[in-house]
Amino acid sequence: FKINAIPTTPFGDQKPGTSGLRKRVKVFQQENYTHNFIQATLNAMTSPCAEGSTLVVGGDGRYFSKEAIQIIIRVAAGNKVSKLIIGKDGILSTPAASNIIRKRKADGGILLTASHNPGGPENDFGIKFNVSNGGPAPENVTNSIYEHSKNIKQVFVGEVPEIDLSTIGVQTFEGFTVEIVDSVHDYAILLKEIFDFELIKSFFAKNPNYKVLFDGLHGVTGPYSERIFVEELGLPRSSIQNCVPLPDFGGGHPDPNLTYAHSLVERVEKENINFGAASDGDGDRNMIYGKGAFVTPSDSVAIIAAHAEVIPYFQKTGVKGLARSMPTSAAIDLVAKKKGLEIFEVPTGWKFFGNLMDAGRLSICGEESFGTGSDHIREKDGIWAVVAWLNIIAAANEKKPGFGIRDILLEHYHTYGRNFFSRYDYEEVNGDGANKMITHLRHLVGPGKSEFVGKTFGQFTISSADDFEYHDPIDNSVSKNQGIRIIFTDGSRIVIRLSGTGSQGATVRLYVEKYSQNVSEYESDTQEALKPLIDVALEISKLQQFTGREKPTVIT
Ligand code: VG1
Ligand code: CO
């Protein structure tokens, strides 16, 4: 086939954020916009270069995915990529793509998703590059993509025909191969190797009244949940809802939290469902929700770590170390301490866990943003987390029949104490105001501002404060300005940072955490318990003044 060098000009705004390039669909639809970004991504590949490489392609199936995949096919062919492995119909959940990159020893992958952001012609699209370990590209690679995108002069496009994405099989065009694969097959095998499916099945068999409800929020997990929960674990089909992937997610936010997975929460409470769970657009997030028992993601990862010994995968590999992102509560730190494990605190974004996993120092990690996972792949993994919880519950019921999500939570608090945690999001605020607020905070906590430490606000006295800076212990890279941290003498914390995944305006994230070992507080309401600390956060940050917002858009 013929390769054409098409002249183009840079767009200047193709800087990947926390998790790839996310913009409105209309931005990606501009002439050459998507071509440019793919070309810049291929240009940034070094070892190996794009030429001769094998790449995995797939995504959450959102609006514009199919068009983007045809563009990727032609630009890959134009750059002499040797092989593309593409999920059927362009569908691969983020964790499934990570698994295929590793299993097939591909050189990387291109993931088409804006995760939990709404989809459709008026909403968001996204492109993320993953590297050969199956994880999101580290910052040096995303920076290089951005540099290439700013200097791009031409895109190489191969004249290959439009590929039928709906037929599994291999097609070759003069040394360029396109393989369409089943989206679920390898992922299902992976989970069956990790968890005790027999134990979970026998738990369901012994407890026919134990009700499970999984909500796919019309994201990519539909076919995965059908295969795993219904076909493999034998649950009735009524145990899954919103499991047909839709390009616009049915008009909703495919984000598994108390706000956007509201229908799941309501049904769990009304129908006395024992185990509720949900996942996001691209299948890497999860929420665990039992009747009257919402599990915060920070608690969830700590509990999985605390119970890891019941999971066959960890029986085999051992638990090498634990980690969390900086804003995530320190519940998992307490588990690490008790078990004598190493614990790492990294910046927001899954890409920072990969080096630690590759070095054999990290097994289980999570983020407060409903992300939980392990070193079985290099992405967070929604369905993995749900099955991990089912495995833990099934194992607990061997000794304590009837033990549910709420019992596991309370037992955990009694052993480790409770880390109350909440996040306030102020979405689409004026960027100028948000930046001014961050500048104000940097001033307060910056070097040489030692008078801030020791100040008292209400019942809280500041013990340390900084703008978080991460030194990667494996490759020694440094990531600066990762979020303002204010830590108080009683261990309570306030964190403030700006989102790196939004597509419009700025989003301010305010995270608050308070630790309690007071048994009488273990069943308290989170918002009530945190109220005094939130007031202090608003006072210090002057958030209302800078953003003009009285209330957050979403509280998780
Ligand atoms: C958010 C979350 C972060 C997560 C990222 C990607 O980033 O806070 O923890 O890793 O989304 O998740 P930010 O920069 O907007 O705070 V996903 O499920 O979008 O891949
Ligand atoms: Co996601």
Task: Please tell me the number of Cα atoms within 13 Å of 198 on its side-chain side.
Answer: 2
Judge whether 463 counts as a catalytic residue. Answer: no
The answer, yes or no, to whether residue 449 has pLDDT greater than 70, is: no
CB atoms inside a 10 Å sphere around CB 63: 19
Q: What is the pLDDT of residue 505?
A: 78
What is the average per-residue pLDDT within 206-227?
96
Of 115, 279, 369, 541, the active-site residue reads 115
As beta bridge partners, residue 366 has 324, 372
Sequence ranges of the chain with CATH classification 3.30.310.50 = 419-555
Residues in CB range of 133: below 8 A, 6 or more apart: 101, 102, 354, 357, 358, 378
Question: d(Cα 392, Cα 400) in Å, to the nearest integer?
Answer: 12
- Looking at the CA of 554, name the nearest ligand: 1
Sign of CA dihedral 384, 123, 502, 529: negative
What is the CA(17)–ligand 1 centre distance, in A?
Answer: 9
At the second CATH level, the architecture of 3-183 is 3-Layer(aba) Sandwich (3.40)
Question: Kind of pairing, strands 286-290 and 275-279?
Answer: antiparallel
pTM above 0.90, yes or no: yes
Residue whose C-alpha is closest to residue 220's, from 379, 349, 84, 72: 379
For the CA of 282, the closest atom of ligand 1 is: 18
DSSP 242-270: S-S--TTGGGS----STTTTHHHHHHHHH
- Looking at the CA of 498, name the nearest ligand: 1
In contact, 495 and 484? CB cutoff 8 Å: yes
Q: What is the mean pLDDT of the chain?
A: 94
Alpha helices in 318-363 (DSSP H): 331-339, 354-358
3-state helix, strand, coil in the chain (%, to 5): 35, 25, 35
Which of the listed residues 324, 369, 427, 484 should we mutate to test ligand 1's pocket, taking the one with most ligand atoms within 8 A of CB?
Answer: 369
Q: Is the CB of 367 under 6 A from ligand 1?
A: yes
Q: What are phi and psi of 447, to 5 degrees?
A: -60, 145
Residues in CB range of 172: below 8 A, 6 or more apart: 178
What is the average per-residue pLDDT within 109-121?
96
Q: What is the pLDDT of residue 454?
A: 86
For the CA of 509, the closest atom of ligand 1 is: 16
pLDDT digits (tens, 9 = 90+) for 304-362: 999 999 999 999 999 999 999 999 999 999 999 999 999 999 999 998 999 999 999 99
Residue whose C-alpha is closest to residue 281's, from 67, 129, 501, 59: 59
ipTM above 0.95, yes or no: yes
Q: What are phi and psi of 92, to 5 degrees?
A: -150, 130
What is the CA(543)–ligand 2 centre distance, in A?
Answer: 27
Question: d(Cα 406, Cα 275) in Å, to the nearest integer?
Answer: 10
The answer, yes or no, to whether residue 185 has pLDDT greater than 80, is: yes
For 212, the token pair is 């499970």
Sequence ranges of the chain with CATH classification 3.40.120.10 = 3-183, 187-416
What is the CA(111)–ligand 1 centre distance, in A?
Answer: 15
Residues in CB range of 291: below 8 A, 6 or more apart: 268, 269, 272, 273, 274, 276, 404, 405, 406
What is the average per-residue pLDDT within 266-272?
96
What is the CA(464)–ligand 2 centre distance, in A?
Answer: 32
Where is average pLDDT lowest: 167-181, 213-227, 299-313, 420-434? 420-434
Q: Is the CB of 19 under 6 A from ligand 1?
A: yes
CB atoms inside a 10 Å sphere around CB 555: 16
The phi-psi region of residue 548 (left if phi > 0; otherwise alpha if psi is between -120 and 50; otherwise beta) is left
Where is average pLDDT lowest: 44-48, 443-447, 488-492? 443-447
Question: Which CATH number among 3.40.50.300, 3.40.120.10, 3.30.1330.80, 3.60.9.10 corresponds to the domain 187-416?
Answer: 3.40.120.10
* CB-count exposure of residue 303 (10 Å: 0-12, 13-18, 19+): buried
Which amino acid, 431?
Answer: G
pLDDT digits (tens, 9 = 90+) for 51-107: 999 999 999 999 999 999 999 999 999 999 999 999 999 999 999 999 999 999 999
| CATH top class, domain 419-555 | alpha beta
Question: d(Cα 182, Cα 9) in Å, to the nearest integer?
Answer: 37
What is the average per-residue pLDDT within 505-528?
90
Q: How confident is the model at residue 430 (pLDDT cuts 50, 70, 90)?
A: confident
* CB-count exposure of residue 164 (10 Å: 0-12, 13-18, 19+): exposed
CB atoms inside a 10 Å sphere around CB 464: 13
pLDDT digits (tens, 9 = 90+) for 149-181: 999 999 999 999 999 999 999 999 999 999 999
